[in-house]
Amino acid sequence: MDTTRRRSSAPGRRHTNAGEDAEALAALGHKQELKRNFSMISMLGMAFAILNSWTALSASLSLSLTSGGPSAVIWGLITAGIFNLCLAASLAEFLSAYPTAGGQYHWAAIISWKNWTRIISWITGWINVSGWIALTATGGLLPSQLVIGVISLYHPSYEPQNWQQFLLYILFILAAFAINVFLTRLLPYITQTAFMWSLGGFAIICITVLSTASPDYQSGHFVYGEFMNETGWPNGLAWLLGLLQGALGLTGFDACAHMIEEIPEPHLKGPKIMIYCILIGIGTGFVFLSVLLFVLTDVDLVNSSANGPILEILYQATGSRAGATCLLIFPLGCLCFATIGIMSTSSRMTYAFARDGGLPFSRVWAKVHPKLDTPVNALALTTGLVIIFGCIFLGSSSAFNAIIAASVVALGVSYGIPPAINVLRGRKMLPETRAFKLPNWLGWTCNVAGVLWTILTTVLFVFPPALPVTGNNMNYCIVAFAIILVISLVQWFVDGRKNYTGPKLDVNAMMNGEVEGLAPSNTNGSVPTNGTGIDHMNGKEKLAT
């Protein structure tokens, strides 16, 4: 017979040393293998380095300038920021209760309906792993575009070839791989440096371009109210399509969840980091985009220039190739740091899912190198797949861009799954004593708003960016995302449904009340029989017997 479990008080207490953090992780079913080398500031530095909102937003300005104009650039960021903040707050509640590197697929498994636990966890895991690997490709693409832009600035007749950008792409990816493998112990210092570099570069560029462009600024109406539509879509839909820029600039805030096993007091610090990086991204992005729009002089040239939008604006503001190139070093450095952080996070997500048996040859990808203290095999898998994606760029830049866009869609879907399940189950599936808890009304608001945003952006971001639709401007994101789903479903029927049991929760620890929010009082001590073995009913967790 099922008996109702009491709730653990574990989330409310503060872990005071590494031993207690390791015990808490063991209670969630996993041995502490990765070193907790990151402080809160270094983990915040990694999270913000991955978002690098002001850099990503400025490098992708052309997405919104042609699809809504400056009004979509500025207010699209605010819109995307508010809804992503709702998603971040929703996931922060999960992170405070269950701080494991698995993140979304682990949380979805714990709160899902008993008969659907394994398949929901499986699909969520595949979507999240694929999204992070595809996002790693972005880390190689964007800095290579900046370098090509500099060459075009000095040599206007230069026509870049795909193979040239491909070589730069490979260079950035392999450099990030080498740093992640051989400089693991220095990653906390690298991420702190990335944080300072990003904030310093943000301030220096803003001050420089405002001073050099003075007094020839665009009007406030242009910056905050000008609407443009060169897409062929109706005005309202064009503005909504411009939200892709803001969404791209705030994608990846779940990084701290997948790196959470490398920070002390994860259930306390993790939620703060997840929310802080979004707030910093919105603030710096709003100011930086406003500055760029005030100092640009020719918006049509910004949209069409081979130099890239950010370099073209810097050149228009300074009137100097050398000055613009020097300023470009800051966003270039930010993107290099971002590539390192994205690859770290992607490898941890791959490692975590493989640790639970979610990937082919999971035992290989779940190994942590005993001397390097990092999942080298998972890093190698991420790097290998990203290089293969780069080969696609040699044949079709449109197909490669579809992979990049699919990363935004895939990560967005993975963000929406846990809160969607939580809403459907009445927001009663998380332990009341978790360290980070939203007031009930705010929790409902954030959960529902985040889920609706996920649905809206998933539909919008697979639209072709302009009319008429041709083979060259078609949005192949839907194809790339469909391939991810098909592969995950095929692999489920081939292997998953037989061998995948979901996240491995420690039943003995659950019996002793050591798992945060998962303390059963089952009297017969039986082992759960399904997935996580947890059946949540009316907000009271029960063990299936």
pLDDT at res. 395: 75
Single-letter code of the amino acid located at 490:
V
CB 228 within 8 A of CB 293: no
CB 71 within 8 A of CB 382: no
Torsion 471-472-474-478 (CA) sign: positive
CB 495 within 8 A of CB 81: no
Task: Tell me: cis bond preceding 418? Omega within 30 of 0 counts.
Answer: no
What tokens appear for 424 in the block?
């459907």
SS3 percent helix, strand, coil of the chain, rounded to 5, is 70, 0, 30
CB 476 within 8 A of CB 396: no
- Could you give the angle at the alpha carbon of 536 between the alpha carbons of 87 and 131, nearest 5°? 35
Distance (Å, rounded) from C-alpha 444 to C-alpha 438? 9
DSSP states along 400-427: HHHHHHHHHHHHHHHHHHHHHHHHHTTT
First to last CA, the chain: 7
- Rounded mean pLDDT of the chain? 82
* pLDDT(3) > 80: no
DSSP states along 114-155: GGGHHHHHHHHHHHHHHHHHHHHHHHHHHHHHHHHHHHHHH-
State pLDDT tens for residues 190-218. 888 998 999 999 999 999 999 999 999 99
Q: Which residues contact 182 (CB under 8 A, 6 or more apart)?
A: 372
Q: How confident is the model at residue 107 (pLDDT cuts 50, 70, 90)?
A: very high
DSSP states along 192-251: HHHHHHHHHHHHHHHHHHHHHHTT-PPPHHHHHH---B-SSS-HHHHHHHTHHHHHHHTT
* Residue of 458, 491, 490, 453 whose CA lies nearest to 477: 458
State pLDDT tens for residues 485-508. 898 899 999 888 888 888 765 434
State pLDDT tens for residues 233-292. 999 999 998 898 888 888 888 888 888 877 878 888 889 889 998 999 999 999 999 999
Distance (Å, rounded) from C-alpha 80 to C-alpha 400? 24
Distance (Å, rounded) from C-alpha 505 to C-alpha 523? 18
CB 541 within 8 A of CB 517: yes
CB 504 within 8 A of CB 510: no
Q: Cβ atoms within 10 A of the Cβ of 39, count?
A: 15
Phi and psi based region of residue 438 (left: phi greater than 0; alpha: psi -120 to 50; beta: remaining): beta
pLDDT at res. 514: 41
The residue count of the chain comes to 545
- CA dihedral defined by 476, 51, 358, 117, rounded to 10 degrees? -90
Distances from the Cα of 393 to the Cαs of 346, 396, 503, in angstroms?
Answer: 21, 5, 36
What tokens appear for 162 in the block?
């795909």
Distance (Å, rounded) from C-alpha 256 to C-alpha 161? 37
* Residue of 176, 180, 84 whose CA lies nearest to 139: 176
CB 380 within 8 A of CB 174: no
Q: Which of 66-70, 277-281, 310-314, 388-392 has the lowest mean pLDDT?
A: 388-392
pLDDT at res. 340: 93
User: Helices 376-395 & 397-424, crossing angle to 10 degrees?
Assistant: 130
Q: Which residues pair with 537 in a beta bridge?
A: 540
Model pTM score: 0.83
CB 329 within 8 A of CB 89: no
State pLDDT tens for residues 433-474. 888 899 999 999 999 999 999 999 888 888 888 888 877 777
Region 10-19: what's the mean pLDDT? Answer: 45
State pLDDT tens for residues 401-438. 777 778 888 999 999 999 999 999 999 888 888 888 99
CB 314 within 8 A of CB 327: yes
CB 383 within 8 A of CB 174: yes
Q: Cβ atoms within 10 A of the Cβ of 82, count?
A: 14
* pLDDT(381) > 70: yes
